[in-house]
Structures are given as C-alpha cells and as structure tokens.
Structure 1
Amino acid sequence: MDRPEIWISLDPELHVFLAAARRVARSAVRTDRAATLGHVVESLGVPLTEVGELVVDGRTVATSHLPAHGEEVAVHAVPRPQPLAGPARFLLDVHLGTLTRRLRLLGVDAAYENPDIGDAALATRSAAEHRVMLSRDRGLLRRREIWAGAYVYSHRPAEQLREVLARFAPPLAPWTRCTACNGTLREAPKEAVHGRLRGGTERSYDVFAQCTACGQVYWRGAHHASLNAIVEAALRDSAERPPPRPAPAP
C-alpha cells in the first residue's frame, strides 16, 4: 500500500476538535509513511496537549510511533487531575484576562501577557519559566517549545475556572496574590497605605493588604461578597476533588 490506512477511535471529549464527518466512534485515516502517530492526531485537529494515552492494537505507544497499515488506534483524553512535572504555574494568553484574575484571587501563580506578544514569545516564556500555557488557540498549543499546555474549552470565565481547577487541581491559597500583577500580598497597616487611599475608603475600612511587587492596595470593599462567592465555590469543589497523581518519570 502506498499510504497505510489505520483505524482511529477518539475519546468523545476530543470530538470537539474534529470535523463533523469524523465525529464517529471509529474512522479510517490514510497516513504518510513518515508521519508519526502524534502528527496524524494533530492533522485531525486535536492538540497533543489534550491527548493522554495512545493505544495501538492493545498496547500503549508514544507519539513518535510510526503507524502501520491496519492498526487500531485508541486516542484517550488527558487524565483529570493531570499530573505535572513541577509546580502548578500557568501562563495565559491575551484572551484570558478574567480567568487570570480569578486564578490569582485563589492564590494560583498565573502570569499573563497583555498586549499580545505573539505565539513564539509565549511559547518561549512557557518553556523558560516551566509554566502551563493556557489558551483557546490551537495553533499556539501545537508549538513544540511550550513546556506544557492546555486548551481552555469554554468561553465563559466561570466555566473556564472550573475547567482549569478540575484539570490540574492546583493548591489554593485565596487572597494571597495581587489580581493585577500576580505578586504576593502582605498585611498593611492603615498608616502605611494612607497616601494610596481615597477619603471615603480610609474612613470606612481598617484592614488592608498590599502587593509586594506593584504596591496595589486591597480591602474588603463593595465587590468582596461576589469575590468571596468565587473563592468559596472553588474551595468547596477542591475539597471534593482527588489530589493529582505524581507525574510519570521522564
């Protein structure tokens, strides 16, 4: 055969990436003899960041496997929680600003690039700082230099937050990070932040925190109730979620 034909079954969770005609239980795919299984899966539209175990004729293989004619391939989604080979640190692209602020609210280390610095620079930063690249851009997630990545399926910030927390189960430490710059917060006496407060705020509040990086001052103002609802929901979900397994040895 000039071009081997293989049979591929994908986890239903991955069907969102497929053309409508391929959203079936099992489909035939003709491959290039030099194409690895990883390339074949990506050619269908599925970022490898979303792929877990690859099983060929009953045995687990790597993305570098060269498919042979007639092989049966099962493509599984990544496990949840997904183990990481390092701390749960994230990098978000320019389209995920609200998600960034909510992760920081929960004490999760979430770096953010705005304005857009381009896919190459984002991938380079992901690798240099060992950060999980979060994006809805499939092309960005296909870049080989990213340290780790994850596609954000929803376009709604509340659902995006649940997705990321369920997928990576990062440790939560609410109210410890600056939502503006990702720096750490420390308690600040009222007199230390006097010059940064408006008169009404200074008269109405006595408890403050300040970012050690950018100097932003925080207090329990009008939006505290809505922010606290986000925190409480995340803590509740986290308590019910199993901890992530250790990452497999390289």
Structure 2
Amino acid sequence: MPHLCVRFHAELQEFFPPQRRGRPVEMAFRGPQTAKHLLEAAGVPHVEIGAVRLGDAAFPLNAVPPAGACLEVFPRTPRERWPADLPSPRFALDGHLGRLASYLRLLGFDTAYRNEVDDADLVAQAVAERRVVLTRDQDLLKRKALTYGYWVRATDPHAQAAEVLERFAIASLARPFTRCPRCNGLLAPVPKAEVLAQLEPLTRRYYDEFYRCQTCSQVYWRGSHYERIAALVRRWLADEPLT
C-alpha cells in the first residue's frame, strides 16, 4: 500500500508523545483524502497549522496529496493565530478553563466563557463573534467550521495564562484591571456615594476609589488582595508597567 510521509515542525511536535517527536510520520495512503483530513488523523488540528509545503511549493489543506509525497507542516506564527484585522485577539474558552478565563479577563482581554456549553455552541459563538477558541480538547479544534483555535498545553491555570500571552505574543496588548473577571464586562470608575450601600463598614471607612462593572454591576476596589493580584499580573507581563 502506498504511503505518505509527514514532517511536523516546531511546536507541532508537542501533539506527539516524546518518543515520537523529531521523526517523520508515515501514514498509509488509502485513496483520495485531503491534507486536512490526513494531518488531523495524524493528531494535529488544522487550526494549529500555518503552512504546508510539498517540495518548494505551498500545499493547500483542502488539496489531495499524491501517494508517496512528503509534506512539511509548520505551525502558525503568533499573529496568524487570530483574524488579521483585529487589534488583539478575542477568546472563547471551553467549560474546563474557567480560571484561565478569569485570568485573561483580569489582564483585560475580551474572553467569552460559560461553564456549561457544548462544543457546537462554542464553535458557533467563536465563528459569529470572530473569537479564538482556547481548549484542552484537541478534537474540538478539528471541527471543520472552526478557523481560529489553540490547544492549551499547560494544565495549571497560572501557567496557562503565561502560555497564552507567549504563544500569541500579546503581553504588550494587556490592559490589566479593565474588565470584570466574573462576567467580562468593562469596568468604569464610580463615585463612592453611588456604591456606598454595597460596601462593608471597613471598606467604607478605608477606601475611596471604586470601579463598577458596566454589565453585572459588581464593585471593585484596591483592597488588601490587590497587591497579591498585581504581583501575579507583573509576573505574567514580565514586569511591564501596569495601566
């Protein structure tokens, strides 16, 4: 039976166990199948692929490679991972990444998240709102309708936030403390008198600067917890100044 040879480059190797990395993938060629189908059968979602080459020429994902061919497959660059006309990415996260969703909102990124959402609805929202899907589910990223998505490698939420910043090269676009971690709404300054009834006695006494979510009306202030969160943000942003 004819075979197809595929070489996955750079971080695409992370889709394979360590013992299989750095080696070409040999696949049985069972008739006309598109490059997308073959590469996803090997384990790499199409949304992670930036370029495919056959010899010196680019090879489309929707084309059928010839038997015996050897494809070279490269990852997307950071800027190719979201729509080119967006100034910064907008994310949609699956139900298993709740803490990451809160952290991305804390950093100021527009992040859609519901803890109970099925894959079809998540993909539909991402396509309609032009969002990048973040997930730990590789099969979700293989859905044909999806254009932009990323498989989060880390399992710890703190490490996941750092990974997303690095893989999308967006640390300089962060606007910390401008979004509500609970609902993703934008925060705006609010006079103390307008939120006085929502405050505990000690908060009323010691704090004067407040912010309110324009969507859910949650009130925020720079209390004792602020320095701990600000230190975490500084680590994520490699000590870039906070806004």
| Number of residue pairs aligned between Structure 1 and Structure 2 | 236
Residue 148 (structure 1) aligned with residue 145 (structure 2): no
TM-score (norm 2): 0.90
Query: Residue by residue, what CA displacement relative to the aligned partner does 1:64-106 show, whole Å, maximum 9, x if unpaired?
Result: 1211122121111221343532421000111111111111111
- Tell me the distance in 2 between the aligned counterparts of 1:80 and 1:130: 17
Alignment of 1:34-113 (within 5 A): 34-85=32-83, 86-87=85-86, 88-113=89-114
Alignment of 1:1-250 (within 5 A): 3-18=1-16, 22-85=20-83, 86-87=85-86, 88-114=89-115, 116-170=116-170, 171-236=173-238
- Tell me the distance in 2 between the aligned counterparts of 1:237 and 1:134: 25
Q: Which amino acid aligns with 1:13?
A: E
Pair 1:163–1:174, CA change in 2 (3 A):
same
Q: Please identify, of 32-41 and 179-188, the stretch whose mean Cα deviation from structure 2 is larger.
A: 32-41
On the 8 A contact 2:2/2:29 being kept in 1, the answer is yes
Q: Which amino acid aligns with 1:60?
A: A
- Of all paired residues, the percent bearing the same amino acid is 37
Q: Which runs of 5+ in 2 are unaligned?
A: none
- 3-state SS in 2 of match to 1:236: coil
Q: CA RMSD in A?
A: 1.9
Pair 1:52–1:237, CA change in 2 (3 A):
farther
Q: Which runs of 5+ in 1 are unaligned?
A: 240-250
- Tell me the distance in 1 between the aligned counterparts of 2:240 and 2:54: 35
TM-score (norm 1): 0.87
